Amino acid sequence: MTDQRTASVPTGTGAGGGTDLAAVRRRISTDVVGRERELDLVLAAIAAGRDLILEGPPGTSKSTLLRAITGHWGIPLVLVEGNADLTPSRLVGHHNPSRVLREDYSADNFVAGPLVQAMRDGGFLYVEEFNRAPEDTIDVLLTAMAERVITIPRVGVVTAVPSFRVVASMNPYDNVGTTRLSTSVYDRMCRLVVDYQQVDAEQRIVARRAPGAAPRVVIDAVAVTRATRVREDIRQGSSVRGAIDLALIVGQLCAMREIPIPGGDAQQPPRDLPQAYTATFLDAMTIALSGRIHLDDLAAGNAEAVLTEIWQDHFLLNPAAAEPG
Ligand SMILES: Nc1ncnc2c1ncn2[C@@H]1O[C@H](COP(=O)(O)OP(=O)(O)OP(=O)(O)O)[C@@H](O)[C@H]1O
Ligand SMILES: [Mg+2]
């Protein structure tokens, strides 16, 4: 079987349709904070015509990278969530049942599913939580990846536009209700592991996504959120989404309670901050983070108690303003 994939940059209708990959990469990077190496590797794999699997916990820029790439190329990003309901026919498409009753089966009354949409439009099919998809659905995907063509009964042959790619993602900590992907799946895809951002990148992400948040709030929100990821009693901590929400909520709570936010001096130890601010910060942590931390089965206490400990470590004990690297 010849390899139908094009080893070139997708040529969409957008501004990124050129072949100067370095220039494209520079433009795309303006939409992404940090992640230079990951962007290089993902772009190189895609430009080489390969399909890709991204493995990383929630909030580690997987969707952000793909949205930036497809946005600059002007090609669709077709999202589909891998779960038990993602049957082959949901992935490929189905015939409209009421029209079938009236008109019989035809190509005309076929409703394209995400795979066929992405193939026809030359988009990226982004399958999140790939390892939750049923095995027969993964098999359909593997065929589409290998052949770049699928045959649909009573519709005919759908040939992928050359820029069609399959990108899958999965959370390595997620092992309930998932299947181990077989070696034959891994053998057909490139793979990139993405981990949590560095502290400075995470602060820049929060500053970008919570515009108007004071620098002090950004530093504290990122520090306590990162602390949720290193505790023994937490199975999975909060992603950067928790830090973003926390920064936004602290701002609103302080405004509502007319509590001044301390100045932006990053060197000021958290334990020297005014008690009114730190107490409000704890309230904000409860609402922003308690649902986002998943306690270990053996953990004593509940999420609120664990968050209070993290708050104490940061604001009462921790002498440093921000954790190192
Ligand atoms: N590198 C980044 N640059 C700018 N914003 C980012 C970056 N990484 C994450 N974000 C922000 O954090 C949020 C979560 O990131 P993203 O959606 O990319 O994570 P993900 O890896 O796709 O997570 P999930 O596995 O939960 O889907 C985004 O909505 C975005 O606002
Ligand atoms: Mg995502």
Structure confidence by residue, pLDDT tens digits, 57-111? 999 999 999 999 999 999 999 999 999 999 999 999 999 999 988 988 888 899 9
Q: CA 21, 27, 32, 37: dihedral to nearest 10 degrees?
A: 30
- Give the bridge partners for 193, in sequence order: 55
26 Cβ contact partners less than 8 Å away, ≥ 6 residues apart: none
| Ligand with the closest atom to the CA of 60 | 1
Probe ligand 1: pick from 205, 208, 238, 294, max atoms within 8 Å of CB? 205
Segments making up each domain of the chain, as ranges: 9-193, 199-322
Number of the ligand closest to the Cα of 196 = 1
In angstroms, how far apart are the furthest CA atoms of the chain? 75
Tell me which residue has tokens 């052949």: 147
Interval 272-307: pLDDT, tens: 899 999 999 999 999 999 999 999 988 888 999 999
Closest CA to 143 of 182, 111, 115, 181: 115
**Distance, CA 62 to ligand 1 centroid (Å)?**
6
In this structure, the residue with its CA closest to atom 31 of ligand 1 is 209
- Identify the residue whose C-alpha is closest to ligand 1 atom 9: 61
SS3 240: helix
Cα–ligand 1 centroid distance for 69 (angstroms)? 14
**What ligand has the least distance to the C-alpha of 239?**
1
End-to-end CA distance of the chain: 49
State if residue 170 touches ligand 1 by the CB under 6 angstroms criterion. Answer: no
C-alpha 119: how far from chain center: 22
- Give the distance (Å) from ligand 2 centre to CA of residue 169: 8
Instruction: Give the mutation target among 64, 167, 194, 204 for probing the ligand 1 site: most ligand atoms within 8 A of CB.
Output: 64
pLDDT exceeds 60 at position 220:
yes
Q: Which run of H or E residues covers position 215?
A: helix 215-227
- Over residues 7-30, the pLDDT tens digits come to 445 544 343 444 588 998 999 999
Residue-wise pLDDT for 20-71, tens only, equals 889 989 999 999 999 999 999 999 999 999 999 999 999 999 999 999 999 9
Q: From the CB of 205, is ligand 1 less than 6 Å away?
A: yes
The pTM is what?
A: 0.89
Give me the CATH code for the 9-193 domain, please.
Answer: 3.40.50.300
